A = this chain, B = another copy of it.
């Protein structure tokens, strides 16, 4: 089952964060293992997400849920997560275990909160921010922290990279939520507004509701075009908030300007900036 899902990888963002944060490491094998640990945790959450959403396809291939059934897929996700922690515990110190286990717990808690707030039209901006921080950003942060730690970088390097990961994670989740409302990607088999359809409130819906009242999420669920439901004022505000997160990610690296890490990590923000500009033109 592991071989099957590894044959169709995603973007491997979390390992990239670990490698960028750990640039200059002497023990490359240890850094690679750290990157693999974080990616395994991410894979475990994807396997479970696909069971819970009844998803048949991911990255253009059948999901374990589809191929082996929900029973085997839930257990497989559990085993993946446990294996990640086995690898983490191969370090003598429990620090890597602690980072990975804490981040995993936050990811699950964030997803539980999101599940319980499905269909809650009154979700506040603060709740949304807290949820995306827990379900996405803390694992980005953990990837950076693990990478920097395993490279034995000094505390200010670890701190700068971790903050970068956290900010990039928030930005990335906002971007992903905007994609769901703006990008009708036939190739990826994506349909517009799947978040709204599942009762999930995202940034544009929350900001639009706060601006004019009413229930924009319900309008989207009823099949209205996101470009009609969400005003141009709100789209601008969404992209402004997204840009601000990207900027604070970049800013977080200023204390370690001289090290090789920013060279790699700033490519990721540059990539997200370009993708954001493209998406913004479609709003």
Interface residues in A76-134 (C-beta closer than 8 Å to B): 76-79, 81-83, 85-86, 88-98, 100-102, 104-105, 107-109, 111-112, 115-116
Residues of B within 8 A of A45 (CB): 78
Q: How far is the CB of A134 from chain B (nearest CB, A)?
A: 11
- Nearest residue in B to A105 (C-beta to C-beta)? B82
Residues of B within 8 A of A115 (CB): 71-72, 75
Cross-chain contact A101 with B74 (CB below 8 angstroms): no
Assess whether A48 is interfacial by the CB under 8 Å rule: yes
- Nearest residue in B to A53 (C-beta to C-beta)? B71
Cross-chain contact A101 with B89 (CB below 8 angstroms): yes
Cross-chain contact B81 with A116 (CB below 8 angstroms): no
Give Cα A86 to B104, complex, Å: 9
Give Cα A101 to B1, complex, Å: 20
Cross-chain contact B48 with A78 (CB below 8 angstroms): yes
Give Cα A75 to B118, complex, Å: 15
Cross-chain contact B89 with A97 (CB below 8 angstroms): yes
Give the copy number: 2
Assess whether A230 is interfacial by the CB under 8 Å rule: no
Q: How far is the CB of A256 from chain B (nearest CB, A)?
A: 27
Cross-chain contact B116 with A72 (CB below 8 angstroms): yes
Assess whether A270 is interfacial by the CB under 8 Å rule: no
Cross-chain contact A85 with B101 (CB below 8 angstroms): yes
Give Cα A255 to B107, complex, Å: 45
- Nearest residue in B to A84 (C-beta to C-beta)? B101
Assess whether A252 is interfacial by the CB under 8 Å rule: no
Give Cα A105 to B90, complex, Å: 14
Give Cα A67 to B9, complex, Å: 35
With A88-B101, A101-B85 known to touch, is A52 a contact of B71 (CB < 8 Å)?
yes
Interface string of A144-186 (1 = CB under 8 A from B): 0000000000000000000000000000000000000000000
Assess whether A43 is interfacial by the CB under 8 Å rule: no
Interface residues in A41-56 (C-beta closer than 8 Å to B): 44-45, 48, 51-52
With A72-B112, A72-B116, A116-B72 known to touch, is A78 a contact of B93 (CB < 8 Å)?
no
- Identify which of B52, B92, B102, B105 contacts A74 (C-beta below 8 A): B52
Residues of B within 8 A of A1 (CB): 112
Assess whether A272 is interfacial by the CB under 8 Å rule: no
Assess whether A70 is interfacial by the CB under 8 Å rule: yes
Residues of B within 8 A of A112 (CB): 1, 72, 75-76, 79
Mark A residues whose CB is within 8 Å of B.
1, 44-45, 48, 51-52, 70-72, 74-79, 81-83, 85-86, 88-98, 100-102, 104-105, 107-109, 111-112, 115-116
Q: What are the 8 tightest A-B residue pairs by CB atom distance, in nearest-first order?
A: A85-B101, A89-B98, A82-B105, A79-B108, A89-B97, A82-B104, A97-B97, A78-B108
